[in-house]
Amino acid sequence: MLLLHLLDLEDDLREQTSLDSFLAGIRLARGIEQELREIPPYSFDCDDEERARKRNEGR
C-alpha cells in the first residue's frame, strides 16, 4: 500500500514538473515576443555601451 502511494506521489510530481516546465517555456516565448515588438528593438550592445558610459561619467 505504501509503495503504491509513493508511486502515485512520484507520478504527481512528474506531472507538476512537466506543467511547470511548459508554463516557463510559454513565459519565455512571451517575453521574447515582447522584446521583438519593441520599437526601437532592444540592443544588448547599445545597453552595454550606455552602462559603460554611465560608469565612466561617475569616475
Please say whether the dihedral angle defined by the alpha carbons of residues 49, 37, 25 and 19, taken in this order, is positive or negative.
positive
> Residue 38: what pLDDT?
86
Rounded to whole angstroms, the maximal C-alpha distance in the chain is 69
User: What is the average pLDDT score of the chain?
Assistant: 93
Residue 15 has pLDDT above 90, yes or no: yes
Q: In which band, very low, low, confident or very high, does the pLDDT at 40 lie, cut at 50, 70 and 90?
A: confident
Q: In this predicted model, which residue has the larger pLDDT, 43 or 18? A: 18
- The pLDDT score that the predictor gives to residue 19 is 97
User: Is 13 a residue whose pLDDT tops 90?
Assistant: yes
Give the CB-side neighbour count of residue 50, counting CA atoms within 13 A. 6
Please, are residues 36 and 43 in contact by the beta-carbon 8 Å criterion? no
Whole-angstrom CA distances from 3 to 6, 8, 17 are 5, 9, 21
Q: Check residue 28 and give its pLDDT.
A: 97
